Amino acid sequence: MPTARTYDFILTVADATGFVSGNNIFGVTSDTVATIANVDLAANQLKVKVDNVQREFKATETIKNDVITVSTSANGAINTTSTPFQSNAFSGNTTVASTTISSISNSPFIAEKNAFTQNPVVRLYSIYYPGEWYPPNPNGNPTAQGEGRAWPVDVPFRFAEVVGDLQSDSIYRVKYDNLEYIPFPVDFTGLETSSDGKINEVSLTISNFDNIISTFVENPFLAGNNSSNSVIALVNEEFVHGIDPRTVNANPSDVGSSGSDAFDSLTRARANGLTYSTDVVAAYGTSNASFTYNQTLNVNGTWQEQKQDTRDLLGGVIEIKTTFANFLDYWPEYSSARYLSSNVVEVLSALPYRVGDNVIGQFGTTEATIKAIEENKFLFLSNSLDSNTTIGDNIFIVNSEADAEAYVEDVFKIDNLEKLDLTSATFGLISCLQYFKLQVPKRKYYKNTCQWVYKGAECQYPGPSGGNIPGTSNPVLQANTVAITAANESAGTNFDLDVCGKSIQACQLRNNQIHFGAFPATGRTVPKQ
């Protein structure tokens, strides 16, 4: 996926009520269309990304959030009959929110990017293991990890690179949008396009200190499932498989009825003595958690590996968010406390701190403002920090400019593991469009030329021998028992001449138009030769 902006402008409006993140808005005067990235009701501000950078909103103009209304066709409510599908018809639109713009300001990210002197660039990397939810479930990934199951390991694996000559990366604290990223030395080659339009393979090299990367990529039990004792659970409005029943606070009757997978699997688990346990939940750190390998052995379960070779992480998604240090939750540099007395803190070095900064102890919740700094080590604060802040604790600078939407994003897939040794690991990355040489679009849009193999998996026609047309009901349509030639002429009982003409007429003669593999509303009639 190419680099994507999060938002371009902050619109201060008369009333932000009714506007919702993800919706589109348009300016009545400028005809500018934008997507809402974030709504701040308290400040009456909308963060928006414009669809066309050649257009901009105008101050004092009215903006609207409209939704379309449709009229239902005869079979549009429940299309279970064998009649040709009739789409709902557009009948108008309804304004769900409207207001006026009082002021417009550029995104702080854009302002920082264009500044003469910039704060350090920060790249935030998240590795999603093959099969995980990506993009993330809008309601939150199941237990924050895993597609179809909540992976029991620490994935997505998150690490960060702070680009700037400050201190060693390893002593930074990188927290963004309330997520922690491990500071790693990283070497990331830029994305380039050749003269013929081909995109080069991107290389990502990660330091392997303390064998963190080796442990991650060489774990043979990283992806798997307890195939004998796992159950199904509804997590963040998604049905998730592979869940430890001891973390499901429900009875079988709460999740389904007899015969359903959720009911039957939970019933079996309870019969095997796998009852709900707060101690097990505490061990996982969450409810509705997936079995770990060790937990599987603990209940005499059978561990089924989902991937034979985990070293390469082939197909895993790497999401790269690029932002600046002043948009993180905390400034990445910090020092630790040597002495505390009331509102005075002695730190090892006051270099990262400035008068006016708000600071907080690493285990605290109370912020204090620096009023003065003396002898490059004494911080005089507006008030004392939490009583649980002690000598040796890190003192972090709270970023007043923290902005969870101030980034641009790139997404790649892992193509191969180029190198892994005691010092580093190098992954070869490609864009999602390059992965397995995907064709986009998946197939060409022809008007009256079906692209399915006759009687194949997509066509599903049972042939002139007769039978029901799959997918039809009320009434169930029957196949034409007469062979039909490619010219849409009857061949009678000579089934050797039964050849499809690949047109909608050919489908209609066979009562199989429900499976027609073309797009009658488009303009191209025949394939290009």
Query: Do residues 389 and 413 share a domain?
Result: no
Quote the pLDDT of residue 335.
92
DSSP 214: H
Closest by alpha carbon to 93, among 65, 63, 57, 62?
Answer: 65
* Residue 343: other Cβ atoms inside 10 A: 14
Q: Which of 410, 440, 470 is the last residue in one of the domains?
A: 440
Quote the pLDDT of residue 150.
46
Note the pLDDT tens digit of each residue in 495-518. Answer: 888 999 888 889 989 988 888 888
Q: What is the mean pLDDT of residues 282-311?
A: 77
Q: What is the mean pLDDT of residues 208-218?
A: 79
Note the pLDDT tens digit of each residue in 150-190. Answer: 444 567 788 998 886 544 456 789 999 999 998 888 888 76
pLDDT-derived band of residue 67, with 50, 70 and 90 as boundaries? Answer: confident
Query: Do residues 323 and 421 share a domain?
Result: yes
Quote the pLDDT of residue 78.
40
Query: Do residues 11 and 93 share a domain?
Result: yes
Q: Tell me: pLDDT of 525 over 70.
A: no
Q: What is the mean pLDDT of residues 223-245?
A: 79
Query: Do residues 180 and 235 share a domain?
Result: no
Query: Do residues 10 and 71 share a domain?
Result: yes
User: What burial class does residue 250 get, using C-beta atoms within 10 Å of its C-beta: 0-12 exposed, 13-18 middle, 19+ buried?
Assistant: middle
Quote the pLDDT of residue 99.
92
Query: Do residues 241 and 167 share a domain?
Result: no
Note the pLDDT tens digit of each residue in 355-393. Answer: 999 999 998 888 999 999 998 899 999 999 988 889 999
Q: Which stretches of 234-342 are DSSP H helices? A: 252-255, 261-271, 278-284, 293-298
Query: Do residues 275 and 130 share a domain?
Result: no
Q: Tell me: pLDDT of 75 over 90.
A: no
Closest by alpha carbon to 521, among 441, 452, 446?
Answer: 446
Query: Do residues 451 and 529 share a domain?
Result: yes
Q: Which of 106, 131, 146 is the last residue in one of the domains?
A: 106
Query: Do residues 473 and 484 share a domain?
Result: yes
Query: Do residues 178 and 243 share a domain?
Result: no
Quote the pLDDT of residue 164.
66
Which residue is associated with the tokens 């897939």?
Answer: 413
Gap between the Cα atoms of 264 and 145, Å rounded = 25
Query: Do residues 188 and 321 share a domain?
Result: yes
Q: Which CATH number covers residue 340? A: 2.40.30.20
Quote the pLDDT of residue 169.
57
Note the pLDDT tens digit of each residue in 88-141. Answer: 555 667 888 899 999 999 888 888 888 888 888 999 999 887 666 677 666 665
Quote the pLDDT of residue 147.
45
- Domain limits for position 271: 224-305
Q: How much is the pTM? A: 0.69
Gap between the Cα atoms of 37 and 141, Å rounded = 20
Query: Do residues 167 and 263 share a domain?
Result: no
276 versus 117: which is more confidently predicted? Answer: 276
Quote the pLDDT of residue 22.
86
Gap between the Cα atoms of 46 and 424, Å rounded = 43
Q: Tell me: pLDDT of 414 over 70.
A: yes
14 versus 192: which is more confidently predicted? Answer: 14
Q: Which of 383, 398, 413 is the last residue in one of the domains?
A: 398
pLDDT-derived band of residue 215, with 50, 70 and 90 as boundaries? Answer: confident
Total structural domains within the chain:
5
Quote the pLDDT of residue 153.
54
In degrees rounded to 5, what are phi and psi of residue 217? Answer: -85, -20
